[in-house]
A and B are shown apart, each in its own frame.
Chain A
Amino acid sequence: MLLSGWGRFPRADCRVLRPANAAAVPDVLAGQGAAIARGMGRSYGDSALNPAAVIDMRGLSRLLAFDPETGLLEAEAGVVLGDIIAVFLPRGWFPPVTPGTRFVTLGGMIAADVHGKNHHGAGSIGSHIAWLDLLGADGEVRRCSPTENAELFTLTIGGMGLTGMILRCALRLMPVASGWIRQTQIAAPDLDAALAVFEANMASPYSVAWIDCLATGKALGRSLITLGDHAAPDDLPAERRAQPFAVPARRRLSVPIDAPGWALNGISVKAFNALYHARGLSALGERLVSWDSYFYPLDAVLHWNRIYGRQGFAQFQCVLPLATSRAGLQALLEAISAAGTGSFLAVLKRMGPQESALSFPMEGYTLALDFPARARPLALLERLDRIVLDHGGRFYLAKDSRMKADVLHASDPRAAAFRERREALGLVRHFSSLQSERLGL
């Protein structure tokens, strides 16, 4: 079966096995060579591709237990985040961390150790996982937690599925008082102003910026920063207070076919960015938005990955340490605007501190970009890799589809340590992806 990640680049013909539930996974895995688990296929590159065996975990879709006192939810690893929100938001609970789409599985979130707009305060998803059940190459299922099989637990969070198959997990949900977000939008005319807004708003639970990466000169780094917090019923208009979790259904759009390759070019991207900026300026200040439009604006456009056409696109997400963020971001933005191949969506975000085995986040600033998978933009990405290395930054594996192994290892000494532990634990032969082979993980 021809599979790809969300970026639709690269593609690979993979043998796919689909266990019906958690209990069936050991039998399916037994006798396989190397395999990789796959959930909703929302990592962008080749993290969940393996021609020999892809284990489609979406059959592991059961909620197992919920404690309304503590918010602890136990579930199979193929449960989709959007289902959790649909079931538990009406009861006053929300995921403590969410990526930019709700079409992800719990297992996928753990494997990529995803972060959200609240990373500076809440950390990544891994810090909200109480335990996980991990199927090893030996067919044993081990309960892993900070106190039990602690090393496997640490390696598995952010371990890109390379430590075993996550079968079940327990996630601590967060109590919320409504389905609405109090959003504040702030315009920053340049990079310094954008960073100042982030630093001044560390107490805001959510913060993220859209950054115009085609702006040059004095406008380099001009941004729209969006802050947010869960609204209390008192924040809502009177007519909504009786049902604080009900939000109006959003219109669903869909990109029905691949856009032709010329549809996204320098001119259309520049026009889009200018338009987006102008629209953002008209919406400055505070207002209420529903949870889905705040957290998942792109989920409303099904198959939005088709706008890049058949050849697909490459995501690029790096994080720079706090001390070098200013200089590194300037260098990245200058390289991008000089190349003229702007990113359709460029996102800037302040991250908080984090200790982990292979997870992406570190304290500093993360920049996420996407580019069509064509020769010129891909060459630009190699230049961006160098800038990130020069500034002591690193790369998000869930977004990566094209990085060279030496770049990864130069950026992150943890990669070699992770590989060494995989070898010592006998995992390399049993769990691998095209990405892990490309990067030597």
Chain B
Amino acid sequence: MSAGAVLILGARSDIGLAVAHAFAARGHAIQLALRDAARAEADRADIALRHGVAVSLHDFDVLDTAGHGAFLDSLPALPQLVVCVIGLLGTQEENRRDPARAALILRSNFEGPAAILERIAERFEARGSGVIVGVSSVAGDRGRASNYVYGAAKAGFTAYLSGLRARLSRAGVRVVTVKPGFVRTAMTAGMQLSPLLTVGPEAVASRIVAVSQGGAEVIYVKRLWWLVMTIIRALPEAIFKKTRF
């Protein structure tokens, strides 16, 4: 695989940094895109020093859709591969009660990521190559009482990636949907997570590296999640609505 540049959208997150390290270890130049990018200087230096690759920082706000074109123009090169790990969980109670909060969750997880990936898809399509990896969520597989605002946003993103993949299938551009399940990160710190269904950010990163090279295009990081979500999706509504998870 030629070591083209990899763009990480949402590079501040634990998964984003793990993905950056994993691609840098394979010789890819890395573009880290995040808000207040200067804060990530230590991470930039660390990736560059450990792996001996070029790493650049780029200010990027996924909600500033009007600025997306200028952001892409500012990159040192159009990347070979983009990984979007942007996500905002919030708490269900707050997301549900406060319409402004709900809008922020929907925009951060769905509208913003969909907008930037569409701009990137146009450029990849014109070039005739590229890989887009969208990190979505098992929460998008079926709306649950405990987090349906976030889940609806992720469901939208999953559907968007599905359509994008179909549209670009003949254009030489791969679109991959990754559903990590539970990941031990700052976002989930303090939560009780089942060890059988939980992975570290490094495991997500190595799966993303693997699927970016070929194979399945919709994956759960832990295969057990496929079984769990297949069952959850298959539950009749009459039963599902009585569940508490």
Contacts and interface: CB of A to CB of B under 8 A. Distances in A.
A64 B186 contact: no
Contacts of B42: 21-23, 62, 64, 76
B45 A63 contact: yes
B99 to A, nearest CB: 31
Nearest to B46: A62
B27 to A, nearest CB: 14
B170 interface: no
A66 interface: yes
B88 interface: no
B50 A64 contact: no
A407 B186 CA distance: 44
A242 interface: no
Nearest to A63: B49
B43 interface: yes
Contacts of A65: 45, 49
B43 A20 contact: no
Contacts of A23: 39, 42
B50 to A, nearest CB: 5
Given A22-B42, A63-B45, A87 B186 contact: no
B21 to A, nearest CB: 11
B223 to A, nearest CB: 26
A113 to B, nearest CB: 25
B189 to A, nearest CB: 8
Q: Kindly name the residue among B43, B46, B50, B186 whose own CB sees the greatest number of chain A CB atoms within 10 A.
A: B46
- Main DSSP-derived SS at the A contact region: mixed
Contact of B50 (A20, A21, A22, A63): A63
Contacts of A62: 42-43, 45-46
A63 B45 CA distance: 7
Contacts, number: 26
Contacts of B50: 63, 83, 87
Contacts of B186: 20
A168 B50 CA distance: 17
A173 B174 CA distance: 44
A23 B39 CA distance: 9
Interface in B152-195: 186
Interface in A127-185: none
Interface in B9-68: 39, 42-43, 45-46, 49-50
Nearest to A74: B45
Contacts of A61: 46
A338 B162 CA distance: 77
Contacts of B43: 21, 62
Nearest to B43: A62
Nearest to A88: B49
A66 B49 CA distance: 7
A61 B18 CA distance: 13
Nearest to A91: B52
Contacts of A63: 45-46, 49-50
A46 to B, nearest CB: 27
Contacts of B45: 62-65
Interface string A268-281: 00000000000000
Q: Kindly name the residue among A23, A63, A83 whose own CB sees the greatest number of chain B CB atoms within 10 A.
A: A63
Interface in A1-40: 20-23
For the complex of A and B, 8 pairs with smallest distance between CB atoms? A62-B46, A63-B49, A62-B42, A63-B46, A64-B45, A87-B50, A66-B49, A64-B42
Interface of A: 20-23, 61-66, 76, 83, 87
26 contacts: A20-B186, A21-B42, A21-B43, A22-B42, A23-B39, A23-B42, A61-B46, A62-B42, A62-B43, A62-B45, A62-B46, A63-B45, A63-B46, A63-B49, A63-B50, A64-B42, A64-B45, A64-B46, A64-B49, A65-B45, A65-B49, A66-B49, A76-B42, A83-B50, A87-B49, A87-B50
Given A23-B39, A65-B49, A87-B50, 13 more contacts: A21-B42, A22-B42, A23-B42, A61-B46, A62-B42, A62-B43, A62-B45, A63-B45, A63-B46, A63-B49, A64-B42, A64-B46, A64-B49
